[in-house]
């Protein structure tokens, strides 16, 4: 199925010269003069090689048929990351290359969207937010109320982020998975 290059997003799968590529990031560039272009950074699914392509935004690209379904994350071991389809209880194993920078955010029992092509996992889409605990941060300074001042913090999954000054060690916070940024204190 042909689609316009500018409609591709992170996680989309394209077919170029008979090989499948997953889009790592897509950026639409509108120069002051000239034709707008779409810059695609992609990873070849078969061997993990990263490529960068540039298309005019109106060019057609072959989008591969991908089955995207909700799966439940079970566990990680030496073979990879194991997921289960909650509808038929089939289990799939995804490699670390497929999971990429989403790995620290996976939690047992988490529902994610897994994209497969011919029953082979090719991309994972995390929920928009996850709740994690702060394990390390600087102590709060009394009287420091400037809303724009954030301090570094280490989350329970090992990822670094920045949090407001009133957040202390042990506080559960909601994090945006797309850019590891602090959203709010957890309501639980």
- Residue corresponding to tokens 């540039």: 54
Which architecture, in CATH terms, is 67-125?
Answer: Beta Barrel (2.40)
Buried/exposed 58-76: b ≥16 CB within 10 Å, e otherwise: eeebebbebeeeebbbbeb
pLDDT, tens digit, for every residue of 101-134? 889 999 999 999 998 888 888 888 889 999 999 9
Q: Are 119 and 66 in contact, with CB atoms under 8 Å apart?
A: no
What is 129-185's CATH number, 1.20.58.220, 3.40.50.300, 1.10.10.10, 2.40.50.140? 2.40.50.140
**In the chain, where the domains are located:** 2-62, 67-125, 129-185
For the chain, percent of residues with pLDDT exceeding 70? 95
| Strand ranges for 58-128 from DSSP E | 60-62, 67-77, 80-84, 91-94, 111-117, 120-125
Question: Got the DSSP string for 37-48?
Answer: EEEEEEEETTT-
Query: Positive or negative, the Cα torsion across 125, 129, 85, 82?
Result: positive
* Number of other CB atoms surrounding residue 32 within 10 Å: 4
Domains 67-125 and 129-185 share a fold: yes
* Nearest CA among 73, 62, 158 for reference residue 110: 73
Question: What does the DSSP 8-state code read for residue 32?
Answer: S
pLDDT, tens digit, for every residue of 44-99? 887 878 999 999 888 898 888 888 899 999 999 988 999 999 999 999 999 888 88
> Quick one: pLDDT at residue 145?
60
Looking at the DSSP bridge assignments, the partners of residue 67 are: 116
Which CATH number describes the domain made up of 2-62?
Answer: 2.30.30.30
């Amino acid at each position: 199925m042909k689609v316009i290059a500018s409609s591709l997003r992170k996680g989309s799968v394209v077919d170029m010269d008979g090989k499948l590529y997953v889009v790592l990031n897509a950026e639409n560039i509108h120069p002051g003069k000239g034709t707008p272009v779409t810059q695609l950074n992609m990873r070849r699914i078969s061997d993990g090689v990263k490529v960068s392509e540039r298309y005019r935004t109106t060019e057609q690209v072959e989008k591969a048929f991908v089955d995207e379904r909700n799966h439940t994350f079970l566990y990680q071991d030496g073979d990879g990351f194991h997921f289960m389809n909650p509808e038929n209880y089939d289990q799939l194993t995804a490699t670390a290359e497929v999971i990429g920078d989403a790995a620290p955010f996976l939690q047992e029992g988490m529902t994610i969207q897994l994209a497969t092509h011919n029953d082979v996992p090719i991309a994972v889409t995390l929920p928009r937010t996850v709740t994690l605990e702060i394990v390390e941060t600087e102590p709060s300074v009394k009287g420091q109320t400037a809303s724009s001042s954030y301090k570094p913090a280490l989350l329970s999954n090992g990822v670094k982020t920045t949090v407001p000054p009133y957040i202390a060690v042990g506080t559960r916070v909601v994090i945006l998975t797309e850019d590891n940024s602090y959203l709010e204190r957890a309501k639980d």
